[in-house]
Amino acid sequence: MNELAGRTQTVVVEKDFPHPPEKVWRALTQRELIADWLMENDFAPEPGHRFTMRGDWGSVQCEVLEAARDRTLSYAWVGMGIETVVTWTLTPSATGTSLRMEQSGFRTEQVRAYDGAKYGWQGFFANLGNLLARGA
């Protein structure tokens, strides 16, 4: 039996933003702001809320698992053959907010999806930084 069977991988991206947690939280939870930096969506920050993220490459079905204002947000992310969980953690810092994103649950054989997520989230974080810098 393959020793890697059953193991999963996690994509982690961390960045410090010179903005307070409440401003970063808004960008993570308001539909129109999410659409600006991530994807079109019908998100609501309420545990149990099911929503869809839509990009030019396809869509993913999601469900909010946890939403603690200005602190943590977690949702299931299912589509394109993957079933993962995206968790955002906001930590106040001396200069603003430390933001950590983890997308966990990539099976070891899902190399293409894992590598795509590692690449994609870097761009999404850049978009988020640009949105926040514009005063959103």
Residue 76 lies in a domain: yes
Range of the domain at 99: 11-133
Report pLDDT digits (tens) over 75-110.
Answer: 999 998 899 999 999 999 999 999 999 999 999 999
Mean pLDDT estimate for the chain: 94
Residue 8 has pLDDT above 90, yes or no: yes
Residue 126 lies in a domain: yes
CB proximity list for 87: less than 8 A, separation 6 or greater: 66, 72, 73, 74, 101, 102, 103, 104
Residue 1 has pLDDT above 50, yes or no: no
Residue 19 has pLDDT above 70, yes or no: yes
Alpha helices for 1-83 (secondary structure H)? 21-29, 31-37
Q: What is the pLDDT of residue 135?
A: 85
Residue 64's CATH number: 3.30.530.20
Residue 3 lies in a domain: no
Q: Give yes or no for a contact between 11 and 118, defined as CB atoms under 8 angstroms apart.
A: yes
Residue 121 lies in a domain: yes
Residue 1 lies in a domain: no
Q: How many angstroms separate the CA atoms of 42 and 44, rounded? A: 7
Q: How many angstroms separate the CA atoms of 56 and 16, rounded? A: 28
34 HSE (CA, 13 A, CB side):
18
| The two three-digit tokens of residue 103, written as one number | 């997308």
Residue 6 lies in a domain: no
Report pLDDT digits (tens) over 49-71.
Answer: 999 999 888 899 999 999 999 99
Residue 108 lies in a domain: yes
Number of domains in the chain: 1
| The two three-digit tokens of residue 79, written as one number | 């589509």
Q: Exposed, middle or buried, 46 (CB in 10 Å: 0-12/13-18/19+)?
A: exposed
Residue 116 lies in a domain: yes
Q: What pLDDT band is residue 117 in, cutting at 50, 70 and 90? A: very high
